């Protein structure tokens, strides 16, 4: 029996690109869903596919767990290090 011919996508149709959703956006989606907003409203607000919103809501427990253990992206330098860098840049500039 012959195989089915492979279907080709037309060259003028653009492929969908991969969308990476950040943790804060996922948390916002989970929070909105818990407050009673509908999935269609959430997906329109964030311009996401319905399946992505559903999968985020389905994995809400894992997302909340990740948010609790996630380290903040911003770091703080102490005052001593800042003054040392300022003096060093003054010394190099002169």
Whether 6 is in a domain gets the answer no
In tens, the pLDDT along 11-43 reads: 777 777 777 889 999 999 999 999 999 999 999
- φ, ψ (nearest 5 deg) of residue 58: -65, -35
**Whole-model pTM?**
0.59
pLDDT of residue 13: 72
Q: Which long-range contacts (CB under 8 A, 24 or more apart) does 66-71 make?
A: 66/23, 67/23, 67/27, 70/23
In tens, the pLDDT along 50-63 reads: 999 999 999 999 99
Whether 81 is in a domain gets the answer no
Mean pLDDT of the region 68-75: 73
Query: What tokens were used for 92?
Result: 């190099």
CA distance 43 to 21: 12
Structural domain that includes position 51:
19-70
Whether 31 is in a domain gets the answer yes
Q: 36: alpha, beta or left, given left = phi > 0 and alpha = psi -120 to 50?
A: left
Whether 92 is in a domain gets the answer no
């Amino acid at each position: 029996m012959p195989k089915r011919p492979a279907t080709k996508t037309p060259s003028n149709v653009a492929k969908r690109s991969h969308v990476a959703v950040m943790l804060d956006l996922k948390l916002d989606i989970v929070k909105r869903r818990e407050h009673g907003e509908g999935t269609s409203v959430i997906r329109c607000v964030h311009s996401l596919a319905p399946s992505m919103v559903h999968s985020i809501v389905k994995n809400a427990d894992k997302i909340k767990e990740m948010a609790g253990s996630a380290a903040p992206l911003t770091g703080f330098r102490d005052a001593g290090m800042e003054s040392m860098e300022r003096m060093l840049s003054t010394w190099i500039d002169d």
